[in-house]
Structure 1
Amino acid sequence: MKDIRIIAGRDIRPDAAASLALAGYGKDEASQAQGKALFAELERPVRQVVRPKAALAFADDGQGRMGLYAVLTIGAAVSRQSAMYVARKEYSEAVLFSAMADSCLFSFERQLGEAIRGLCREKGCGIASRHEAGVDCGFSLQEQAVQAVEAGRTLGVTLTEHHMLQPEKSMAILYELTDDPDVFHIEHDCRRCGNASCALRKEETQEEYIRCPKGMRISRWLRQQGYMDSFPCGETGRCGKCRVRVAEGTVAASPEDRELFTPADLAAGWRLACKAVPSEDVQIVIPKGNRGVLAVLGQDGDAHEADAGHSYGLAVDIGTTTLALSLVDTTTGRTVHTITAANSQRAFGADVVSRIQAAKGGKGPQLRKAVCHDLQQMFHQMWDTYPQAKERCLKAAVAGNTTMLHLLMGWDCGGLGSWPFYPVSLGGDWYLWKDVFGKSDGFSSQPVALLPSISTYVGADITAGIWACGLMKPEETTLLIDLGTNGEMVLRSEAGLLTTATAAGPALEGGSLQWGTASVSGAICAVTMNGVRPKVRTIDSAPPVGICGTGVIEALAGLVETGLVDTTGKLKEPYFRRGFPLATTLDCEQIVMTQKDIREVQLAKSAIRAGIETLLYEERMTCEDIDRVYVAGGFGYYLQPAKAAAIGLLPPQLVYKTAAAGNTSLAGAAAVLADEAVLDDMKNICRHADEVILANNDFFQSAYIEYMNF
């Protein structure tokens, strides 16, 4: 017998402010006074006829996923009473009475929260998101929900011929499930709602107030509720990115708080979420700039039509910061569409070393769950856009660095973090869909290729880049650079392929900087100097929220060129202590480039530059011998080579030889889908590529120190 839970509401009361807003009363004093008087008159009649009742049941959502369906009603008597007012031509009473009934329905849904949480505990699941018919999905949801909970039998709720619920004051909801019981996103989200004219719509404000429970680390609570998912330092308290302000209640200051914040900041309630464990329920404020870090990256590239008669595959690039997914027409070899999203593993640290340490510390299953959930969401998004391609999707191919592929597969990362490095596998094989991504949407036994890696720190993303850029052709001497946290690079010469990787860290992607952020709306992406005054450009021309990788390079180049930073990397006064101001956020905070930030960039850029010089030294070559330089990844699209040369990241001789190569990792995965023989070509690349280990290379150590200066 189907498990359907019937729940009755308790002491449901209409909310005065919500009722008056729904009924269209103005905010002026006279309108409010008139509305409140009528509200007081109608409150008793409303409570007398409201009969709140709900039915809940777990069922398939029609796409191969389990969801929790709920149908709520406050009974038919409400509509009859409202109709009676209309019959008497008491229109003001009818309108407000109906609005008060709506308010009761909304209050009833909120009251159901604890019952739903209990149901989820029984099933060992959580709530990923809430969907409501007519709000963020179609009215077909109402038919599905009525069938799932047998609403006619359990509640007396039926569907009209136009698929509307009867009684009128009823609603149907689908709660999308997640296998993480700590995630519980049960509230209506106005940001996802298409009803822009709703009287109860909550617009985004400069600050967001959130209630946090006692006894739980605030960072954990924020991550579970979907408010904050980026902790670049792995919640060690070093980066200062998870700043929040305690607006109500008290939280003791940690040693890390006292190191980062001034006494005035501490007195104002500023704390690091990753170190804050309140001893009482508190209300906190998340700065707008912190929320900008969390924005999901938008769609990428031009979309094309999908031919229902063709076969398809999914190409996946798992980056440390960003995930990319392409739908590939394997019949024609053309990429139909590409979408990108942030990698939720950022919560465990901004770089691969942090994530290796987290995995070794027992968080490997959580890391795998995070990236698999991200990918499943992207798959669903792709199928929503191209439903005709879903049934014809026959395979997938995945590229990424060696650590990312280990975390995806749930492999032991113990051999990746220290010498001698020994991965569980370097890929290059085919696996079953369910063993890579987990079962979903009818996908289980489809083949998935993991592209091959060259070594522990020269991953499959670089193998794919070598193939995509044609580096196996001997006609040119070519340098491929992937500017990420690892700083991988490949030199192709007559002698063959020589590769290396250097631990550049997340500075060039903004990860370890005080105001660093991903490439999200509002991130400063370009900086020009007018004397000592900066002029900034942000992504989407949105209000500034932080500074991303290209903005970091251009800002520092400007400071070097104007003499505000000397050759050793020291900021001149009066900026040495407080940082150089670039822009102001909506919270009236200054986005600055600090002395510590500059040191972080120095470490990263000297590692990249020394790596380039080491490859040239090993092959007895100079920059003049290089015909072409490719910069891979999204970073390369916007990087100005002259600015990179100005801070010493690139040799000046290579500026006019440098071109953006795009996401070559994704391109390589797409090529494997179009022609499986490409996978053998990539294995051949791995067999013939030599690697320079920089950790014990004397020339690299010397060059690293030399290129620290500007």
Structure 2
Amino acid sequence: MRDIRIIKGRYIVPDEETALKLAGYRSGSPDWETGRARFQELEPEIKRHIQPKAALAFIEDRQERGLFIILTLGSAVTRRADAFFDSRDYLSGVLFDAMAGSCLFAFEKQLLPQIKVICQEKGCGIACRHEAGMDIPLSVQAEAATAVAAERTLGVRVTEDMVLLPAQSMCIVFDLSRDPSVFRLEHDCRSCTQNHCPTRGGKTGAHIPCRNGQSVWQTLQEQGIFVPAPCGGKGLCGKCRIRVCQGQIPVTAEDAAFFSAADLQNGWRLACRAIPDEDIEVIVPTCETNIFASLGSPRDGVKEPADPSHSYGAAVDIGTTTLAVALVDMTQRRIVDTVTALNRQTRFGADVISRIQAANMGRGRVLQQAVQQELLRMLQTLLHRYQGLQVTRIAVAGNTTMEHLFMGYSCSGLGTWPFSPVSFGGETVPAVQVFGKDSPAWMSACTVTLLPGISTYVGADITAGLWACGLPGKGGPALFLDLGTNGEMALAADGRITVASAPAGPALEGGNISCGTGSIPGAICGADMLHGRVQLRTIADAPPVGICGTGVIEATAMLLKSGILDAAGKLQEPYFHDGFPLAQRADGDTLRLTQKDIREIQMAKGAIRAGMEVLMAHCGIGSEALAQVYVAGGFGYYLNPEKAAAIGLLPADCIGQAAVSGNTSLAGAAAVLTDERALADMQYICRIAEENILGNDDMFQTLYIQYMNFDISRPLP
């Protein structure tokens, strides 16, 4: 029989500062004293409701010995918090919930000495501490609940989404050591990535020497070290964070806008604004350099067997934000495996205009190398997984600017009227001509085919997507949306295709969002509020590192539904000034959706929705007549059409017709390798497509302003 221990907590009290910070208050802000007063009113009540209890179980029937622990404050505290939210007293509900959270932390600390005594009885030590949902997947909670018989011992159960109920419960896993003298029960600074903590005992991340008088951002680029900079190094996004560990860098106005006084004192700066007047050394946080992504196609992560006797090719999607490469079995006409990564060109700006400007200012070769080197690494990763395979063809899809930068073409004709690209694609050339003399030996017998694009701002990625969705088809009118950085769209009806590109900006791919990121492990991809508590989903169930486009949409819909965000896009206090807290990142930062973020979302969804309405109006088709709405791009993997309609991104009467189509650009590139008719079909699409220039359309300008507001006149899902 498994050894299960039950421990009850005693004299647990909430910590004021911890609770206020968890509730979204910031020390020194105008609302801090208001929060303190409310805390004091609620403190006697929370003491009456908490019933702290824990269950422990040792697992010794496997090679890795472990200790599972589930802690809970009981269901009474959850019911009391629910009562606040049911009565629409959201501020009290949020603070009461945060106070309970601080009690849970206090309970864990109270348990540690007892855990040590129990381990001494067992003749073992503690090697490492893990917390479900932080540094190990949430799915471990089901195993832990079974181990401690949580429903019987604690009244705690695990939902299908791996959430513990009652809400104020927590799962901890300890790795056991055979050395009884080892007790790493608490946080270990030496292995921690919480770089903002002033008490940390060590340094993490890459240590980089920087020369006097040269921008730190430029130094990092020269050394091939990637730091995100969607604003193109203008000091506007706050994402190129580094910490000075040796020497001094003056504080700029941009630094002061993004870092607290304590952060600045601890050496945090923006790399793009940091120009040292002496030789220094900086740390690039590990979490900033770990950007390999997890999404590429619906089959990403599903690795198929490969036969070396078959012919193989590589399908490539060069997105403005994300790169994807698929290994394609051309004999069996199937995708074998896929890898993806963030496009390292983002350090020159999040949008194509910034990239065009950078290329025209002499950075074209650097931009080309940034994407080519990353694609080569991804190709080598795939070939390493499948030893003995030979790739003989590469098919590349991307918007017109991305294809120009990849090929090294001049971008001088892309940024101004009358827009004269060097090529709209469609050509096939030797791979060594593209990748240069230093390309791998296997490329000597390989070709590269660029898929054809429609116009300067509706490129080959859209052509590939239209083909992959079977457009133009024989059914009713269909709308195709690629909700990436550029917001391209197409309406297919009566054998015709009308296309447009809406100036959406990168918000729906996480760009220009204060805690935004691409679709990488740990990106918040879903959000909801259950009984007043935020419930988040992350890609790969990894600890949260930022928020991607679908997470942005769902979080916005959640705030609208809860009344924290109004129809005009204004956050209620105390969130207007400090933002709404979503989660805490491993480096100690709180991931917040700020008022500025909401404005970025409004502009993005306003442009896309207005573009859709213009296309439908010019074709004489109402949204109710659409037979299908295809939502494509990496953005579309986790998109909930109801949530998209809730913020006004999609028309409400299109929810039933909306189909998430995934990375259709990559699918179209793969088709060129496996279907001899695909390339000709795409060239036909380019010939019949007509472009509507939204910037010249008065209707678009009017609708853009109208659709910036959130329509909450109907019930939200």
TM-score of the two chains, using structure 2 as the length reference: 0.68
Give 1:687's aligned amino acid.
R
Does structure 1 conserve the Cα–Cα contact (< 8 Å) formed by 2:546 and 2:591?
A: yes
Distance, in Å, in 1 between the alignment partners of 2:282 and 2:532 is 37
Distance, in Å, in 2 between the alignment partners of 1:698 and 1:589 is 43
Structure 1 residue aligned with 2:194? 206
Kindly report which structure 2 residues correspond to 1:205-224, keeping only aligned pairs within 5 A, or say none: 205-207=193-195, 208=204, 210-215=207-212, 216-224=214-222
Distance, in Å, in 2 between the alignment partners of 1:320 and 1:404 is 7
Distance, in Å, in 1 between the alignment partners of 2:238 and 2:532 is 27
Structure 1 residue aligned with 2:428? 430
In structure 2, do the counterparts of structure 1 residues 355 and 329 end up closer, same or farther at CA, with 3 Å as the change threshold? same
Structure 2 residue aligned with 1:95? none
Structure 1 residue aligned with 2:590? 590
Does structure 2 conserve the Cα–Cα contact (< 8 Å) formed by 1:212 and 1:218?
A: no
Structure 2 residue aligned with 1:86? none
Structure 2 residue aligned with 1:692? 692
Structure 2 residue aligned with 1:511? 511
Distance, in Å, in 2 between the alignment partners of 1:437 and 1:476 is 43
Unaligned runs of 5+ in 2: 1-189, 196-203, 711-717
Distance, in Å, in 2 between the alignment partners of 1:466 and 1:606 is 23
Does structure 2 conserve the Cα–Cα contact (< 8 Å) formed by 1:434 and 1:443?
A: yes
Q: Which deviates more from structure 2 when the two are superposed, residues 523-532 or residues 237-246?
A: 523-532
Give 2:317's aligned amino acid.
D
Structure 1 residue aligned with 2:470? 470
Does structure 2 conserve the Cα–Cα contact (< 8 Å) formed by 1:504 and 1:603?
A: yes
Does structure 2 conserve the Cα–Cα contact (< 8 Å) formed by 1:409 and 1:435?
A: no
Structure 2 residue aligned with 1:198? none
Kindly report which structure 2 residues correspond to 1:395-474, keeping only aligned pairs within 5 A, or say none: 395-438=393-436, 439-444=439-444, 446-474=446-474
SS at match of 1:279: coil
Give 1:415's aligned amino acid.
G
Does structure 2 conserve the Cα–Cα contact (< 8 Å) formed by 1:397 and 1:672?
A: yes
Distance, in Å, in 1 between the alignment partners of 2:303 and 2:287 is 31
SS at match of 2:389: helix
In structure 2, do the counterparts of structure 1 residues 437 and 297 end up closer, same or farther at CA, with 3 Å as the change threshold? farther
Give 2:210's aligned amino acid.
P
In structure 2, do the counterparts of structure 1 residues 532 and 278 end up closer, same or farther at CA, with 3 Å as the change threshold? farther
Unaligned runs of 5+ in 1: 1-201
Measure how far apart 1:296 and its partner are. Answer: 4.1
Distance, in Å, in 1 between the alignment partners of 2:286 and 2:531 is 30
Kindly report which structure 2 residues correspond to 1:249-328, keeping only aligned pairs within 5 A, or say none: 249-287=247-285, 289-291=287-289, 294-297=291-294, 300-328=300-328
Structure 2 residue aligned with 1:234? 232
Does structure 2 conserve the Cα–Cα contact (< 8 Å) formed by 1:290 and 1:545?
A: no
Distance, in Å, in 2 between the alignment partners of 1:631 and 1:542 is 25
Question: What is the CA deviation profile of residues 34-66 of structure 1, one whole-angstrom value per residue up to 9, with x for unaligned ones?
Answer: xxxxxxxxxxxxxxxxxxxxxxxxxxxxxxxxx
Measure how far apart 1:434 and its partner are. Answer: 1.5
Distance, in Å, in 1 between the alignment partners of 2:295 and 2:278 is 38
SS at match of 1:581: strand
Distance, in Å, in 2 between the alignment partners of 1:203 and 1:444 is 44
Give 2:479's aligned amino acid.
L
Q: Which deviates more from structure 2 when the two are superposed, residues 584-593 or residues 557-566?
A: 584-593
Does structure 1 conserve the Cα–Cα contact (< 8 Å) formed by 2:295 and 2:519?
A: no
Does structure 1 conserve the Cα–Cα contact (< 8 Å) formed by 2:581 and 2:590?
A: yes
Structure 2 residue aligned with 1:554? 554
Distance, in Å, in 2 between the alignment partners of 1:427 and 1:490 is 19
Kindly report which structure 2 residues correspond to 1:69-84, keeping only aligned pairs within 5 A, or say none: none
Measure how far apart 1:334 and its partner are. Answer: 1.7
Does structure 2 conserve the Cα–Cα contact (< 8 Å) formed by 1:506 and 1:512?
A: yes
Measure how far apart 1:639 and its partner are. Answer: 0.4
In structure 2, do the counterparts of structure 1 residues 383 and 416 end up closer, same or farther at CA, with 3 Å as the change threshold? same
Does structure 2 conserve the Cα–Cα contact (< 8 Å) formed by 1:524 and 1:538?
A: yes
Distance, in Å, in 1 between the alignment partners of 2:225 and 2:542 is 20
Distance, in Å, in 1 between the alignment partners of 2:389 and 2:262 is 57
Is 1:647 the counterpart of 2:647 in the alignment? yes
Distance, in Å, in 2 between the alignment partners of 1:349 and 1:305 is 39
Does structure 1 conserve the Cα–Cα contact (< 8 Å) formed by 2:584 and 2:590?
A: yes
Structure 2 residue aligned with 1:29? none
Distance, in Å, in 1 between the alignment partners of 2:669 and 2:663 is 10
In structure 2, do the counterparts of structure 1 residues 310 and 286 end up closer, same or farther at CA, with 3 Å as the change threshold? closer
In structure 2, do the counterparts of structure 1 residues 531 and 701 end up closer, same or farther at CA, with 3 Å as the change threshold? farther
Measure how far apart 1:387 and its partner are. Answer: 2.7
Match of 1:245 among 243, 249, 255: 243
Does structure 2 conserve the Cα–Cα contact (< 8 Å) formed by 1:433 and 1:447?
A: yes
Measure how far apart 1:386 and its partner are. Answer: 2.0
Measure how far apart 1:538 and its partner are. Answer: 2.1
Does structure 2 conserve the Cα–Cα contact (< 8 Å) formed by 1:297 and 1:342?
A: no
Distance, in Å, in 1 between the alignment partners of 2:258 and 2:226 is 20
Does structure 2 conserve the Cα–Cα contact (< 8 Å) formed by 1:451 and 1:464?
A: yes
User: Greater RCO between the two (CA within 8 Å, min separation 6)?
Assistant: 2
TM-score of the two chains, using structure 1 as the length reference: 0.69
Kindly report which structure 2 residues correspond to 1:318-397, keeping only aligned pairs within 5 A, or say none: 318-390=318-390, 393-397=391-395
Measure how far apart 1:499 and its partner are. Answer: 0.6
Measure how far apart 1:218 and its partner are. Answer: 1.8
In structure 2, do the counterparts of structure 1 residues 535 and 366 end up closer, same or farther at CA, with 3 Å as the change threshold? same
SS at match of 2:220: helix
Q: Max radius of gyration: which structure?
A: 1
Give 2:211's aligned amino acid.
K
SS at match of 2:480: strand
Does structure 2 conserve the Cα–Cα contact (< 8 Å) formed by 1:211 and 1:281?
A: no
Structure 2 residue aligned with 1:657? 657
Distance, in Å, in 2 between the alignment partners of 1:204 and 1:587 is 8
In structure 2, do the counterparts of structure 1 residues 683 and 505 end up closer, same or farther at CA, with 3 Å as the change threshold? same
Does structure 1 conserve the Cα–Cα contact (< 8 Å) formed by 2:526 and 2:536?
A: yes
Measure how far apart 1:569 and its partner are. Answer: 0.6
In structure 2, do the counterparts of structure 1 residues 413 and 234 end up closer, same or farther at CA, with 3 Å as the change threshold? same
SS at match of 2:695: helix
Does structure 1 conserve the Cα–Cα contact (< 8 Å) formed by 2:398 and 2:459?
A: yes
Question: What is the CA deviation profile of residues 398-443 of structure 1, one whole-angstrom value per residue up to 9, with x for unaligned ones?
Answer: 1111000000111111111122221111011211211223332231
Does structure 2 conserve the Cα–Cα contact (< 8 Å) formed by 1:289 and 1:546?
A: no
Measure how far apart 1:503 and its partner are. Answer: 1.5
Does structure 1 conserve the Cα–Cα contact (< 8 Å) formed by 2:229 and 2:239?
A: yes
Distance, in Å, in 1 between the alignment partners of 2:330 and 2:630 is 27
Measure how far apart 1:323 and its partner are. Answer: 1.3
Distance, in Å, in 1 between the alignment partners of 2:678 and 2:594 is 46
Does structure 1 conserve the Cα–Cα contact (< 8 Å) formed by 2:392 and 2:443?
A: no
Kindly report which structure 2 residues correspond to 1:473-492, keeping only aligned pairs within 5 A, or say none: 473-492=473-492
C-alpha RMSD of the superposition: 2.0
Structure 2 residue aligned with 1:614? 614
Measure how far apart 1:285 and its partner are. Answer: 4.1
SS at match of 1:643: helix
SS at match of 1:570: coil
Does structure 2 conserve the Cα–Cα contact (< 8 Å) formed by 1:239 and 1:514?
A: yes
SS at match of 1:630: strand
Structure 2 residue aligned with 1:568? 568
Give 2:708's aligned amino acid.
M
Measure how far apart 1:225 and its partner are. Answer: 4.6
Kindly report which structure 2 residues correspond to 1:621-636, keeping only aligned pairs within 5 A, or say none: 621-636=621-636
SS at match of 1:387: coil
In structure 2, do the counterparts of structure 1 residues 246 and 531 end up closer, same or farther at CA, with 3 Å as the change threshold? farther
Q: Percent identity?
A: 53
